[in-house]
């Protein structure tokens, strides 16, 4: 597969389908293998190198074709899709991947709990088998986009009599099913982009189980590794993201510049560009089916850099940086790290070191799995979950 091959396919797509009908065009693009070119044929891809995806994006953007609003469906694209592709059945891939990519069905992630955030394997949400269904009861928290989601990726405890990492199973949960209750959590920005979700006797068919019973932790690792890349290493143009926003603030306010602030901004800009290029290489590794601990390093670096950049912008703007335009309660459809004003960016960036794995946990992963340092002592490794103190 070459660039010329892809451009011919793009030209054929544009010639045969009306770009004015957004949903129909996106469905046709998926069917043509131009959604994820690195996915298998028949599942939105062509089995081509992921490095060729920008060729498709540029050609379609130049033609004015609609995109699938990736910021709105980021959890589906970055977390659910690679997990379904790797661990799902043929029927699950055929059912879920196409509407996930076109944005017709939004996804959320039901992982964290009030008593199991950083220690995700300690989760207490229970799933018990009842014929061809599983009945799930528990509480999840910090669930971004749960208020707009049609489906959720969910891990629950199916065997409390084995150690905590061994007794979990991974499911696809219907967010419209009876017993699912979504409640907003207002955050420091004033918004409620995430929620707490209560599950009361929610029935999930066994056909919506991903992976084997009791193998949920291994399946979840695919999600988590991809999540960290989706947050810290997502595709971005040069001077994209927070670095571009802060650089533009600098350009628009020459009267506020100082040599010291200029030196700090340049250093952060260089770090941002290095992170962007590292993210590109890591995405290629993920596309080859090799998610690893490097995603943790990317996400850790992203959080640290985003907070330093947004802090520099507030400091640069002085009194104006303390203004906050709108603190009204909203439940946005899109998670926006860089929108609104400098005050919003500064506050929102604080969450970067929590979401997708706390920075403290990620440092432990990097120390053990990348640097090869001795592992922390774990006294609960071989203890049945039901015997752990909570």
Q: Residue 2, SS3?
A: coil
Q: Residue 185, SS3?
A: strand
Q: How far is CA 274 from CA 233, 236, 313, 359, in A?
A: 11, 12, 20, 20
Exactly one of 105, 191, 196, 227 is catalytic; name it: 227
The whole-angstrom separation of Cα 332 and Cα 355 is: 17
On whether the CB atoms of residues 197 and 143 are closer than 8 A, the answer is yes
Give the number of C-alpha atoms closer than 13 A to the C-alpha of residue 202, restricted to the C-beta side. 26
**Cα–Cα–Cα angle for 134, 139, 143, rounded to 5 degrees:** 105
Bridge partners of residue 153, in order along the sequence: 109, 172
- What's 367's DSSP letter? I
The whole-angstrom separation of Cα 360 and Cα 64 is: 43
The whole-angstrom separation of Cα 43 and Cα 245 is: 36
On whether the CB atoms of residues 234 and 78 are closer than 8 A, the answer is yes
Instruction: Output the six-digit token pair for 35.
Output: 């959604």
Residues 6+ apart with CB under 8 A from 298: 228, 229, 232, 233, 275, 278, 279, 282
- What's 40's DSSP letter? P
Q: In Å, how far from its chain's centre is CA 270?
A: 25
Q: How far is CA 321 from CA 103, 179, 282, 312, in A?
A: 36, 44, 35, 10
Pick from 220, 60, 63: which is nearest to 154 by CA? 220
Active site residue 4: no
The whole-angstrom separation of Cα 112 and Cα 221 is: 14
The whole-angstrom separation of Cα 166 and Cα 214 is: 6
Instruction: Output the six-digit token pair for 243.
Output: 């670095």
Q: What residues are annotated to the active site? A: 227
């Amino acid at each position: 597969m070459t660039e010329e091959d892809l451009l011919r396919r793009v030209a054929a797509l544009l010639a045969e389908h009306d770009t004015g009908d957004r949903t129909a065009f996106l469905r046709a693009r998926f069917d043509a293998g131009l959604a994820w070119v690195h996915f298998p044929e028949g599942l939105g891809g062509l089995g081509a190198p992921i490095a060729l995806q920008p060729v498709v994006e540029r050609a379609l953007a130049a033609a004015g074709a609609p995109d699938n609003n990736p910021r709105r469906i980021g959890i589906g694209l970055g977390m659910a899709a690679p997990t379904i592709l790797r661990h799902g059945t043929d029927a699950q891939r055929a059912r879920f991947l196409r509407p996930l990519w076109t944005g017709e069905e939004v996804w959320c992630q039901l992982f964290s709990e009030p008593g199991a955030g950083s220690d995700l394997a300690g989760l207490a949400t229970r799933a018990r088998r009842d014929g061809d269904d599983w009945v799930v009861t528990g509480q999840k928290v910090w669930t971004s986009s749960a208020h707009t989601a049609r489906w959720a990726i969910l891990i629950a405890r199916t065997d409390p009599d084995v150690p905590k990492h061994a007794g979990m199973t991974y499911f696809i949960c219907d967010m419209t099913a009876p017993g699912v209750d979504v409640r907003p959590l207002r955050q420091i920005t004033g918004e409620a982009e995430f929620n707490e979700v209560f599950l009361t006797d929610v029935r999930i068919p066994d056909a919506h189980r991903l992976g084997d019973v009791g193998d949920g932790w291994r399946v979840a690792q695919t999600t988590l590794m991809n999540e960290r890349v989706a947050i810290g290493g997502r595709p971005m143009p040069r001077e994209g993201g927070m670095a571009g926003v802060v650089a533009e603030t600098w350009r628009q306010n020459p009267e506020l510049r100082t040599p010291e602030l200029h030196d700090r901004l340049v250093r952060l800009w260089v770090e941002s560009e290095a992170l962007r290029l590292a993210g590109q290489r890591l995405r290629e590794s993920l596309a080859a089916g090799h998610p690893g601990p490097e995603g943790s390093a990317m996400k850790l670096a992203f959080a640290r850099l985003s907070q330093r950049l947004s802090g520099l912008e507030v400091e640069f703007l002085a009194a104006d940086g303390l203004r906050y335009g709108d603190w009204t309660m909203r439940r946005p459809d899109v998670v926006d790290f860089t929108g609104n004003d400098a005050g919003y960016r500064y506050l929102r960036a604080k969450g970067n070191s929590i979401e997708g794995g706390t920075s403290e946990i990620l440092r432990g992963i990097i120390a053990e799995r990348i640097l090869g340092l001795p592992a922390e002592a774990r006294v609960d490794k071989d203890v049945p979950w039901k015997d752990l103190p909570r």
